Amino acid sequence: MNLTAIAIIAIICWTIVKLTSKDKKAVKQEPVQDQQKNELQQQIHTMQERIAVLEALVTDEKYALKREFENLSRNRAA
């Protein structure tokens, strides 16, 4: 074998090793990413529930009526 062939084989082997080691790292990181994804989805779900409660409070007729009374009392005071 000449020196060029040895260099080419070494480069090919090095590339194969690097490619396979990246796949192993990606597999190790997937559970962490899945866990983060699940946590974020849970937080979004919780926030959606809280927003729904706040919307119900603000759109309630009693809340609107109370705000109107507060505005009227402020106008009288001024």
| pLDDT tens column, 25-70 | 555 667 778 889 999 999 999 999 999 988 887 777 777 788 888 8
Q: What is the pTM of this model?
A: 0.45
Rounded to the nearest 10°, the torsion over CA 29, 32, 38, 42 is -140
DSSP 34-64: HHHHHHHHHHHHHHHHHHHHHHHHHT-HHHH
pLDDT tens-place string over residues 3-37: 777 888 888 888 888 887 775 655 566 777 888 99
Non-local CB neighbours of 63 within 8 Å, separated by 6+ positions = 57
Q: What is the DSSP letter of 78?
A: -
